[in-house]
Structure 1
Amino acid sequence: MTLSQSLASFIVNTKFEDLPQDVVDFAKICILDWMGSAVAGKDLQPIKIIDDFVRDMGGAQQATLVTGGKSSVAQAAFVNGAASHIVELDDIHRGSIIHAGTVVIPAALAVAEWKNKSGRDLIEAVAIGYEVCYRIGEAVTPSHYYYWHNTATCGTFGAAAAAAKLLDLNTEQIMHTLGSAGTQASGLWEFIEDGAMSKQLHPGKATMNGVISALLSKRGFTGASQILEGRRGFFEAMSKQYDPTKITNQLGEIFKIIENSFKIHASCRHTHATMDLAIDLSNEHDLKVEDIEEVTVQTYQVALDITDNAQPNTVYASKFSLQFCTALALVKRQGGLLDFTEESLHDPVIRGLMEKVKVGVEPSIHEAYPEKWGSSLQIQLANGEIVQKQSEYPKGDPENPPTKGEMVAKFKQLASKLPEKQIQNYINDILHLEELPNVKTFFTIQHQNSFTIIK
């Protein structure tokens, strides 16, 4: 079998009944977490631009937009994927470095709504989509990640897998779906140099391209049969090192969705271990900013590749500045959605403390990456005292998990602009999603710019 055939067979043969209860429960939390991020991000400027574009293009009224109204299934996936990534609170998988929720769930939800699928069908497709993109991401990580945004590239395969499952494609059609998905997989990190809006384009197009790939295959459109391992395929073109065995090892025996991590801070995940330490040390020692002489952060090289930015000039760039995030956490002792603001960006106290933050690589922490996304934080005080702490797993990792109550609380904060009844409906209905007979009733339009889940 080619790798595409192996994945296609897994996609076709995996049923809701095959999913362990912990996988079902975990998938629902992933969907709740995705929905919170999508609702929180839907009114931000880059999403408004994408939404305006989609409305100008028009489209059949097939699936609901988080921004209000409906559009074609592909364009709904586009908007909803983009919206769920922008506040930097969407889920993340360590081994593959993929934010799967932002690409898999909007693809699955759009197709499921359009095709009158059940809540069980939606959960099934989400678990399958996560599995496919995580395995491909693990196969090419870490070398792929230096230039390529894994969520955009590998995520395209996950969106395609979820859409293919819900469209009831056969193994040959799914093989072609994966071929079309892989040839469209893209997303370069260069946007980070400018703090450009491209990061929202990445998940939007990944989920849209996954849906398009499945829709084309259903109509007989063919794709490369060995898009992953072929001599001019995904692995060879986009990775210095790769391990194809990670695609098929225990495929169908374990479900990687439960390896997923959830974000507590509203910034790049590579800053989270350090932010956790900063908050802990501030609280444990009641640190005063004026008493801090020097802050030393030591972590893994990839964290510095993405977040070593001593002078962020936008709120969005500040989320990708390890120096800013460390100072913010020390000053505010938290790093939630409402902490990353223009006021914080230009706060002279935070800016002053940033100048005292030094970042570097700790060999043992670097060696443990990507299995562990750790950090070491040392703070020297004016009185000569040194306080320090090290961690291997930031809050939200499977080894340091949030409770269901904490995830519900996170959702409530992200959706806080909505009416209380609407928020409670989201929580109740997503946590009982397997009881929903038809995903078409998942959404009902309340007014032009909002929607809710109904029973």
Structure 2
Amino acid sequence: MSNTKAMAEKLAEYVCDLRFVDLPERVVETTKVAFLDWLGNAVVGSQMPPAQIVSRVLAAQGVQEQQATIIGSLGLEKPLKIVGDRRLRATALWATLVNGSSSHIIELDDVHKASIIHAGTVVIPASLALAEHLHSSGRELIEAIVVGFDTCIRIGEAVTPAHYQYFHTTGTVGTFGAAAAAAKLLKLSVDETCHALGTAGTQAAGLWEFIETGAMSKHLHSGKAGYNGLLAAMLAKEGFTGALEILEGKRGFMNAMASSFDESKVLDRLGTRFTVLENCYKIHSSCRHTHHAIDLVIQLVSEHDLDPEEIQRIEVGTYQVALDITDNPNPTSVYDGKFSIQYCTALAAVKRRAGLDEFIEENLNDDIVRDILGKVRVFVDTDANERYPEKWGARVTIFTVDGQKLEALTDYPRGDFENPVSVEELKNKFTSLVKRYLDETVINELVSRSLSIDDLSDVSTFFNSIG
């Protein structure tokens, strides 16, 4: 190491020094809630076609190593294999890939606003798989998740929003978070952790082009970022070296992958500001950039008890990035609909909900929803655009056939840490998601174990005797 410490070294020192006993109680409790929310997404996502494809590829490679649990099953018609001895296990690397991909499918996973990253879908599956393999304690798992969040979110903040124009932050900076979490569990030294971050950075990838056709690549981003970060830490433990100035170097991550960036955000208040506390949770099953519009439309149609035939048009003003990602007036698939602010607005106006049960083929082709879809107009709202990415705001105006002009605005969609949903609501969200696959006894046990995981002496027992 040189006399001038690289950013990676300072991050590595933080990763190595953090101890569970020094974490504020609120950080611990929030991390457990994040784990539960991630698990619900992973359970349901594991039954969707993209995760099933990844699982089948895994099965073809053989699963002789029994290191970590694969949350889903292998065949589309098979039940979940997380019950007792019937659950499927594989290497920690493969478990991370499959479980990470599974948790980023139904569009109900967590998000951090300023960094625009779904940190849980990368950091948690990598941490869980490795903790199972190493027989780590629940407290060690929490330590890993906390440092993983702090690492990837801070790097994400430094390069946002320029990086986000072409790169899906979850797939890119998420790799650093997984590497930091794995380094913590592997008890790497500061030097080894630096090398892990260096090797993680050279693997950081994830392009937005998938959105043009609704391709499955997005789901792979989270799984592969977790896999790559975990691989980087495992390699570092064996002496594999990585670029030490991977972040700020002249050919490093920030210079290569962002036209503008703010280095100071990487280390600002490191060790005193815990970014997991800023995590936001989804209650609508769509891209987070559509949630403000959904909230406001549901609010207005409910307050005024509007029927669809009473709506003349709907105007949605929001920040430019939201439109860059979700301006799609004619979605052709359910997945397209999740990334269409026009469709999400119309769905909310007609169904007054936008959960997993609402994003179905029947509603996509519903004549009433399609009629409202044609009445939605979107534009860049100057105020919302100036406040982004700290605030993900929108203004919605509904014009009725009888001449009313109904308006509402927000800076904080429901589930933001400034506009939070309660732990009880998130427990209910978990139940509503997984009840289609798991019975009540199993659900209650998973909730209980998730919210008391810091009491677990061996994470490898987390799924034991479920049900």
Tell me the TM-score range normalised by the shorter chain: over 0.9
CA–CA distance in 2 between the matches of 1:336 and 1:306? 20
CA–CA distance in 2 between the matches of 1:17 and 1:66? 30
Deviation string, structure 1 residues 292-320 (Cα, Å, up to 9, x no partner):
11110000000000000011111111000
Report how far residue 58 of structure 1 moved: 2.0
Which of 66, 72, 88 aligns to 2:71? It is 66
Which of 207, 211, 218 aligns to 1:199? It is 218
Aligned to 2:52: 48
State the secondary structure of the residue aligned to 1:339: coil
Aligned to 1:119: 138
Which of 354, 379, 398 aligns to 2:417? It is 398
Report how far residue 32 of structure 1 moved: 0.3
Aligned to 1:142: 161
Letter in 2 for 1:167: L
Letter in 2 for 1:162: A
Aligned to 1:379: 398
Aligned to 1:99: 118
Report how far residue 197 of structure 1 moved: 0.4
CA–CA distance in 2 between the matches of 1:270 and 1:45? 24
State the secondary structure of the residue aligned to 1:103: helix
Aligned to 1:449: none
TM-score (norm 2): 0.95
Letter in 2 for 1:44: M
Which of 4, 8, 12 aligns to 2:8? It is 4
Which of 224, 230, 255 aligns to 1:236? It is 255
CA–CA distance in 1 between the matches of 2:183 and 2:62? 24
Report how far residue 444 of structure 1 moved: 3.0
CA–CA distance in 1 between the matches of 2:398 and 2:273? 42
Identity percentage over the alignment?
Answer: 51
Aligned to 2:354: 335
Report how far residue 268 of structure 1 moved: 0.1
Are 1:443 and 2:463 an aligned pair?
yes
**Alignment length (residue pairs):** 447
Deviation string, structure 1 residues 420-455 (Cα, Å, up to 9, x no partner):
00000011111111111100101237xxxxxx4x8x
Letter in 1 for 2:34: C
Aligned to 2:32: 28
CA–CA distance in 2 between the matches of 1:351 and 1:156? 39
Are 1:362 and 2:381 an aligned pair?
yes
Deviation string, structure 1 residues 236-273 (Cα, Å, up to 9, x no partner):
11001111111111101121110110001000000000
Letter in 1 for 2:367: P
Deviation string, structure 1 residues 334-390 (Cα, Å, up to 9, x no partner):
111111001111111101100000001011110000010000000111111111101
TM-score (norm 1): 0.97
Higher mean alpha-carbon deviation, 404-413 vs 51-60, is at 51-60
Are 1:217 and 2:221 an aligned pair?
no
Deviation string, structure 1 residues 148-170 (Cα, Å, up to 9, x no partner):
00000010100111111001100
Aligned to 1:179: 198
CA–CA distance in 2 between the matches of 1:78 and 1:337? 23
Which of 174, 181, 194 aligns to 1:155? It is 174
Aligned to 2:440: 420
State the secondary structure of the residue aligned to 1:97: coil
Are 1:14 and 2:33 an aligned pair?
no
CA–CA distance in 2 between the matches of 1:444 and 1:201? 28
CA–CA distance in 1 between the matches of 2:151 and 2:402? 53
Correspondences of 1:316-335 after superposition (within 5 Å): 316-335=335-354
CA–CA distance in 2 between the matches of 1:346 and 1:109? 40
Runs of 4+ in 1 over 2 A off after TM superposition: none
CA–CA distance in 1 between the matches of 2:182 and 2:463? 19
Unaligned runs of 5+ in 1: 446-451
CA–CA distance in 2 between the matches of 1:431 and 1:71? 25
Superposed CA RMSD: 0.8
Aligned to 1:448: none
Deviation string, structure 1 residues 382-412 (Cα, Å, up to 9, x no partner):
1111111011100000110001110100010
Which of 35, 38, 41 aligns to 1:37? It is 41
CA–CA distance in 2 between the matches of 1:5 and 1:313? 47
Deviation string, structure 1 residues 114-168 (Cα, Å, up to 9, x no partner):
0000111111111110000000000000000010000000101001111110011
State the secondary structure of the residue aligned to 1:137: helix
Report how far residue 40 of structure 1 moved: 1.0
CA–CA distance in 2 between the matches of 1:223 and 1:233? 11
CA–CA distance in 2 between the matches of 1:35 and 1:126? 14
CA–CA distance in 1 between the matches of 2:463 and 2:422? 27
CA–CA distance in 2 between the matches of 1:261 and 1:351? 30
Report how far residue 55 of structure 1 moved: 1.0
CA–CA distance in 1 between the matches of 2:25 and 2:103? 26
